[in-house]
Amino acid sequence: MPIDLEQIKPLIAAALAEDIGGGDITSNATVPEAACGLALIMAKQEGVLAGIDVCRQVFLAVDAGLAIEARKADGDTLDLGEVVMTIQGRTRSILAAERTALNFLQRLSGIATATAVYVAEVEGLRARILDTRKTTPGLRALEKYAVACGGGRNHRMGLYDMVLVKDNHIEAAGGVTAAIALAREGTPDGTAIEVEVQNLAQLEQAIAAEPDVIMLDNMKPELMERACRMAWAAPARDRGRLRLEASGNVTLDTVRSVAECGVDFISVGALTHSAPAFDFSLQLKAVG
């Protein structure tokens, strides 16, 4: 899922307005107006890069005359001390954009790096790592892009692009079977339908209704293994239609054992709601 740079320009403008406000009073007081500099953005840890184009757009939004060179691309692995970008031009402009640019870069690279760790943990198994809707308000498209940079896959973007029947929908509809039937009747042909189940009785009903995906929610490993065996025996699974997703408080300590149960997908909210920021620094050298 590529970044739509036009779509994020208002987001960048809002972030810059939040930080700069009426002007950078420190730089305006201490840096001559005509001063120019060369800035290096450097990785202060190992990980995976995401958001380099967003970072570039922040600097250009402050000063379109800045000369910017990206040394690394999104999805690249980073070593400690590696230069990811250089910026040359008016020193005041560089300093005004610095924090906002790094905020985007550290947030997105942190998500990409966390995702890559989860992906590596299930290497060699069927399961693929998915994100969730547990994203920072207003940053969902960027954060899901960062997950993809780290080797993960994107689940639905929002409530509008896929049916996901959860426990409250099941309660309101009167059961798993009724909820899936209503979902089919009430959405356009071809709309993917996923249903969440919490026990084997619900799973049996879901298998019979043949949704595209069944989410095994908050199941202990023993129960999940039994659920997988039930689903594997279903005709829909044999036809390549039915997929299984595990969800619910998955951590790095448990993701491998979850994957070993045989699920197709594992959704991990922590990729976006708890990823640590990646550490970058900007070093400025005066050039005139």
**Given 121, 131, 194, 217, which residue is catalytic?**
217
Active site residue 217: yes
What distance in Å separates the CA atoms of residue 281 and residue 285, rounded to the nearest whole number?
13
**Given 196, 237, 243, 264, which residue is catalytic?**
196
Active site residue 166: yes
In the numeric block, which tokens belong to residue 236? 């829909």
Active site residue 72: no
Helices (H), the chain: 5-20, 25-30, 52-62, 91-121, 140-149, 167-173, 176-186, 200-209, 221-232, 235-238, 255-259, 270-273
**Given 4, 9, 69, 166, which residue is catalytic?**
166
Active site residue 128: no
**Given 133, 134, 226, 256, which residue is catalytic?**
134
Q: What string of H, E and C letters represents the secondary structure of 185-232?
A: HHCCCCCCEEEEECCHHHHHHHHHHCCCEEEEECCCHHHHHHHHHHHH
First to last CA, the chain: 41
| Cα dist from 73 to 7, 70, 236, 267, whole Å | 20, 7, 41, 26
φ/ψ of residue 75, rounded to 5: 95, -15
Active site residue 237: no
Q: Supply the residues annotated as catalytic.
A: 99, 134, 166, 196, 217
